[in-house]
């Protein structure tokens, strides 16, 4: 076991998860790195830890946590300029499966998103965000149970790639000159200061993400994969993503995958049994469709920015960001991460809902093949909420519910794990 970490304590007990020939070997006592995160991370991190530990124990296993640092906690240990230490990235690379809380990104100036940097460093190219309704959770829509979607969001490119130049710099003027004089886009950019960003969408990045979404749909008996894009406007990036998606569907699978066009041309709209239908929707339409035709959507594959917007909107329909889980997946690597951010105004108040972080941990348990422990976590969370024991975000929408602190809610979930096990 490597122990050349400076500020990080490698647990004395526990074993490493390994990955060989495309398959993950998970011991019963894995070492799992965890970043609590900024803001409310210091509340939801320990809460999720307690619940996941209890679920592991109840199913005859043991989690050995390895605390690693990013954001504020890294600056405190490694120095003011170190936002994402090299050894944090190395820990996730070495131990392969882990979890993280939210990290703050300053708007405008300051350092770039550590979340984006970590996903890119680890090449966890698919940000997977399931949105399903838990019984008893209040929602702003009439039929929240119709929402059972899973969004595969490309995690390494798009306008998130960080290729942009600030107004007033020499660099941005050189890019403007190149675009206007060499690429012929004159009369497009207004005179005066301008900021310019680049949106790379590659065949490689698009196809591996879409493949993953289709594979998931096939393995989990889902009916459709919807490619969400704004290809009517961004013809050479977002429309290309759609076209590469249809190429994957048509060229890499047999009869079990069929495109919507073929379905109508050849089968009068009637899909073959057990087939996955691949279709596409324009992003703005899709944002209203998830509200008006919720039950028609199943698995979604989309680019980075669309995926970010869409999954927050889906999260709202099933009870808000306090509930919505997520995970970043690479090849033989997974980093669980809730959809929500660091909610700085609630920092240190032991107040927010840890469910999103707990259910992200549940995705991690599933990835490790610990399905019994994962089911236990979901059942115990659902049971706790059904008993009317909830945090502030749900309590304000429910009659007769009891408002609990983050840590109290986690304790109740642990109690229910022990009861249900
Ligand atoms: P946010 O932190 O997600 O919070 C927005 C609102 O969502 C909160 O004010 C709260 O709403 C609700 N909320 C979030 N987490 C909750 C929880 N666990 N329980 C209950 N309610 C919850 O979004 P933000 O304020 O836009 O962003 C704050 C910082 O987080 C920014 O620096 C941003 O860059 C960062 N961020 C990080 C990640 C990440 O680490 N992956 C993701 C998104 C944003 P109410 O006040 O209405 O109750």
The answer for residues whose C-beta is within 8 angstroms of residue 309's C-beta and 6 or more apart is 283, 287
Best substitution site from 34, 39, 102, 348 to test ligand 1's pocket, by max atoms within 8 Å of Cβ? Answer: 102
8 A C-beta contact, residue 127 and residue 287: no
Tell me the average pLDDT across 182-194. Answer: 93
322 CA from centroid of ligand 1 (Å): 9
Q: Where are the beta strands (DSSP E) in 78-182?
A: 97-100, 126-132, 148-154, 164-165
319 CA from centroid of ligand 1 (Å): 14
Least confident range from 105-119, 138-152, 229-243, 392-406: namely: 105-119
pLDDT digits 0-9 by tens, 324-343: 999 999 999 999 999 999 99
Amino acid 3: pLDDT: 67
Find, among 191, 190, 151, the residue nearest to 308 by Cα: 151
- Do strands 299-302 and 224-229 pair parallel, antiparallel, or not at all (unpaired)? parallel
Least confident range from 31-35, 104-108, 244-248: namely: 104-108
Report CA dihedral (150, 154, 158, 159) to the nearest 10 degrees: 60
Q: Which residues line ligand 1 (CB under 6 A)?
A: 40, 44, 102-105, 115, 320-322, 337, 340-344, 352-353, 356, 393
344 CA from centroid of ligand 1 (Å): 8
* pTM score above 0.85: yes
Find, among 128, 148, 7, the residue nearest to 78 by Cα: 7
Tell me the average pLDDT across 381-386. Answer: 96
Amino acid 269: pLDDT: 86
pLDDT at 392 over 80: yes
Catalytic residues: 160, 230, 284, 308
Q: How many residues does the chain have?
A: 421
Tell me the average pLDDT across 269-291. Answer: 94
Residue 113 alpha carbon, nearest atom of ligand 1 = 34
pLDDT at 307 over 90: yes
- Protein residue whose Cα sits closest to atom 5 of ligand 1: 343
343 CA from centroid of ligand 1 (Å): 4
- Protein residue whose Cα sits closest to atom 22 of ligand 1: 322
**Mean pLDDT for the chain overall:** 95
Is the Cα torsion angle 244, 249, 251, 252 positive or negative in sign?
positive
Tell me the average pLDDT across 86-105. Answer: 96
Residue 100 alpha carbon, nearest atom of ligand 1 = 40
321 CA from centroid of ligand 1 (Å): 7
pLDDT at 407 over 60: yes
pLDDT at 1 over 60: no
- Protein residue whose Cα sits closest to atom 41 of ligand 1: 102
Instruction: Region of 172 please: left (phi>0), alpha (psi -120 to 50) or beta.
Output: alpha
Instruction: Region of 177 please: left (phi>0), alpha (psi -120 to 50) or beta.
Output: alpha
The count of other CB atoms within 10 Å of the CB of residue 195 is 11
Tell me the average pLDDT across 194-215. Answer: 98
Residue 338 alpha carbon, nearest atom of ligand 1 = 41
pLDDT digits 0-9 by tens, 360-383: 999 999 999 999 999 999 999 999
């Amino acid at each position: 076991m490597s122990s050349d970490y400076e500020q990080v304590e490698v647990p004395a007990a526990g074993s490493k998860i390994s990955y060989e020939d495309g398959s993950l070997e998970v011991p019963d006592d894995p070492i799992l790195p965890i970043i609590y995160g900024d803001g409310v991370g210091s509340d939801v991190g320990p809460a999720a830890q307690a619940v996941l530990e209890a679920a592991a124990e109840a199913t005859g296993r043991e989690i050995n946590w390895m605390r690693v640092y990013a954001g504020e906690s890294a600056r405190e240990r490694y120095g003011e300029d170190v936002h994402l230490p090299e050894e944090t990235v190395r820990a996730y690379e070495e131990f392969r499966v882990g979890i993280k809380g939210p990290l703050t990104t300053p708007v405008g100036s300051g350092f770039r998103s550590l979340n984006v940097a970590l996903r890119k460093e680890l090449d966890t190219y698919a940000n997977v965000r399931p949105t399903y309704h838990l019984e008893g959770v209040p929602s702003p829509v009439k039929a929240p149970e119709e929402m059972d979607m899973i969004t595969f969001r490309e995690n390494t490119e798009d306008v998130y790639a960080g290729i942009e130049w600030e107004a007033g710099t020499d660099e941005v003027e050189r890019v403007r000159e190149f675009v206007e004089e060499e690429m012929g886009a004159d009369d497009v950019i207004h005179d005066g200061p301008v900021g310019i960003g680049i949106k790379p969408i590659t065949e490689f990045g698009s196809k591996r993400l879409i493949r993953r979404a289709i594979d998931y749909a096939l393995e989990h008996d889902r009916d459709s994969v919807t490619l969400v894009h704004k290809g009517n406007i961004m013809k050479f990036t977002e429309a290309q993503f759609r076209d590469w998606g249809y190429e994957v569907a048509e060229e890499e699978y047999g009869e079990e995958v069929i495109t919507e066009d073929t379905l109508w041309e050849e089968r009068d709209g009637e899909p073959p049994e057990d087939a996955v239908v691949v279709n596409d929707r324009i992003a703005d339409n899709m944002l209203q469709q998830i509200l008006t035709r919720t039950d028609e959507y199943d698995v979604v594959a989309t680019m980075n920015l669309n995926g970010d917007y869409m999954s927050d909107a889906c999260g709202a329909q099933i009870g808000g960001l306090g509930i919505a889980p997520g995970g970043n997946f690479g090849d033989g690597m997974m980093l669980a991460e809730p959809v929500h951010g660091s909610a700085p105004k609630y920092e240190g108040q032991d107040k927010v809902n840890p469910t999103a972080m707990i259910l992200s941990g549940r995705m991690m348990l599933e990835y490790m093949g610990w399905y019994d422990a994962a089911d236990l976590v979901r059942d115990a969370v659902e049971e706790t909420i059904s008993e009317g024991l909830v945090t502030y975000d749900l309590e304000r929408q429910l009659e007769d519910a009891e408002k609990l602190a983050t840590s109290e809610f986690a304790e109740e979930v642990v109690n229910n794990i022990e009861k249900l096990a």
